[in-house]
Structure 1
Amino acid sequence: MASFDGRYAFIADWYDTNAALTRKYQLFYYPKDSTVEMFDIKNKRVFLKRSKCEELRLHDLHIGAVVNIHSRQLTIKDYADISTSNRLKSKNEKTFAMVKPDAINEVGTIIDIIYQNGFSICNMKSAVLSRQEAEEFYEEHVGKPFFNNLISFITSGPVLAMELMAENSVTLWRSLLGPTDSRDARTNKPSTIRARFGFDNTKNACHGSDSDRSANREIDFFFKANAERRTTARVSNSTLCIIKPHSVKEGVAGKILKNIQDNGFYLNALEMFHLEIINAEEFFEVYKGVVHEYNKMVDELCSGPCIAIEIFGEGDVHKTFRDFVGPSDPEIAKHLRPHTLRANFGVDKVRNAVHCTDLPDDAALEVEYFFHILKQ
């Protein structure tokens, strides 16, 4: 089925839990009126008549994306025709970015720079690399004079790996990074990331792929299904924060992370998740029958990518962080606690910017759920 002006066509998979099999569809999106329709490829019939899906944007539709269509979670596997591929492929170019150990305390600011420059973050994961993993990642530098120092540095602390998407993303990200040597960057490109947050030629804040080929290899290294990297989560003396999908879509996740860091909290582990409805229901089960907004909370949590964060801090971090997040209703927060996260970034009781652990006894359980159980 050929695409015509104003319609985009994709191949999408949906895992049918009842039948325990993956179903394949053609998904058509009409940006003019935010409508979608679906065609069942195997059975050769219309599966979903053209209908409104106002929360879906063209920007959300790219290869590898996970989207929700009327409570069904679909994974975009490919473009369905040449027209769609030609119109979107260059706009949806991906690259790999990594925040190095020397700049991990500037993660919020760096992520905000990423969003402010038109990137989408498709994937995110903090990790600690072993020497063997680091040598594999930097294999093209084996034998170079700086190799041992580079490996020692990159394994000295946590890193944050990200899959970025934008038009000409490889070139754009490297331009934002600036010269490899941070000292050179401060002289010649003072507004770049390496000039602002790096120290020298090795401790230079961030890594960026130098080509499409490198980007594909490096993205697979961290995010391919079997690419398990050691988590930075401690699951003790910590609490959980989730940046909700609406905040991620609005591009304010970096600002939220910076706000958290500026107020003395340490981001011990970060990872982007695309929750299925069953996972969101399981996670929010304690609110079922207790909180009136339960169903809407579930819908929001699985409506797009969210970012889970293990928060570490001094003293009773659970209570301190919960106070910092503020009342669940942003309108109340604006009046009573105007400096809290929900007052500054929340919209309503459901889209209230972030989730935080409510009960102290649940903190370890919630961290464990995201950083260990969901991976199984």
Structure 2
Amino acid sequence: MAAKKKEISLQININNDEQWSEALALKGLLVVDVYQQWCGPCRAVVGLFRKIKNELGDELLHFATAEADGIEALEMYRGKCEPTFLFYAGGELVSVLRGPNAPLLQKTIQEELSNEKNVLEHGGARRAVKDEGLTEEEEVNDDTEDHPHDEDVTVPTDKSYTVAIIKPDVVAHGKADEIIMKIQDAGFVILAHEERTLTEAEAQDFYQHKAAEPYFQELVQFMSSGPSHVLVISKTEGCEDVIPAWREFIGPADVEEARREQPESLRAQYGSESLLNGLHGSSDRERASRELAFFFPNFSFSVWDSRPEEEPVERTLALVRPDAARENREEILSRIRQAGFRVAMQKELMLTEEQVRLFYSTHVEEEYFNSLMENMTSGLVLALALVKEGAVEHWRNILGPKDPIKAKNEQPDSLRAQFSVENSSINQLHGSSSSEEAEKEISFFFPPEDTLAVIKPDTQHKEEILEEIQAQGFTISQLKDTILSREMAEEFYKEHREKPFFSQLVDYMCRNRGEFCRAQKSTIFKISFIR
């Protein structure tokens, strides 16, 4: 019985509006785990809450669970199963945290409790926040005007850009809007803005270059613990390269170093430790290009010029074969940028023999094909989608002749001459032969992605939803209006079988007709022209 009493005293159970009002009137800090009846409170944090309560033994610290279904003030949290923790002091929301991230949760509790004690002892105002993950429709519309969606964003090709991330810990503390204002006040231009919660797989992919670091798993867990704000940033006149300007503005990655050497930097002001340093910035142009492709695959580049329309901006495929990719990757990328190309998309991959045969199907009967096959499967190939006026012809001109010996003799400054491999008849760089071939080859290395979209039963305005899907650049290749059988619904949601809401979810999916769409979207950047 004693254990049960301790459990009850640990968390207050709030089930209606009256109990909610009573809880908000408590003196001190109230940490609320918001849940729904079909989802249940987050059991994973009960042990942490007990540990914190026992260690601090503070009467000003209160924990509660609140069922959103029965509380009017929590209506906006209905229909969501992600663990959400609301921090209240003096009846005001002072912080929000999503996901059962124990280190961040403990840190937030300690900080907000300290802040509230300071208010109670010395007076002063509390810093109320709003839950940025739950904005009203009109707020979303207003925000869209300030931060256009990536589908509508245009940037001149002669402007540099960087990708910035306001990390989950800063967003959870309600500081994102404050930081965005400082960014704009400093003369930076926000070209795109998206709030996004990374999955663990996405975080692993984004930080794959840090996979060997001892803190990698902790970094992945942290970056997928809650929403981040992802920004594409440029700079006004007088700044040729925004990347060093942005990195100077946010300060060193090490928070202690930032506080010591650049106390006015964003990381000094908002970071707390190495991983929780508040903000991210692309390290160089190549990384910025990769990160832009990761978060905004349909970001638009616009070109202002007075050239005749017969010289349009176009795309071409460039391949850097394994030997050159291994030995001269950075130098080749630098030469590409110096030649005025924009790298719209890039990836490194190990090709199979089957993929080589398929890509070079017209060369299979040539006597050099076996050497080509051996070369192309000997290591990682760097594939690039390049953008420029007359990209196909320009790229082929700077490549030089296909034969490395001929390239050295006739065009010693060409890329194939300068990056040739001793005693090899295979040149180290590939370029598309025509605009038509470029489109086919780009699709080979950067194929459109498929996804399944389900418009659930009883959803209103299905036609408008389908129109919006297409307006966002997706192609609906298949559409089926059907009622799922119980067996089909159970199979479709089998990964949720052990969840308490599984039966309710299956019943809901079987009770009426739903729309099942196969949607496809290109991963290649869109190019727009402004003349």
With normalisation by structure 2, the TM-score equals 0.33
With normalisation by structure 1, the TM-score equals 0.45
Higher helix share: 2
* Higher RCO (CA 8 Å, separation ≥ 6 residues): 1
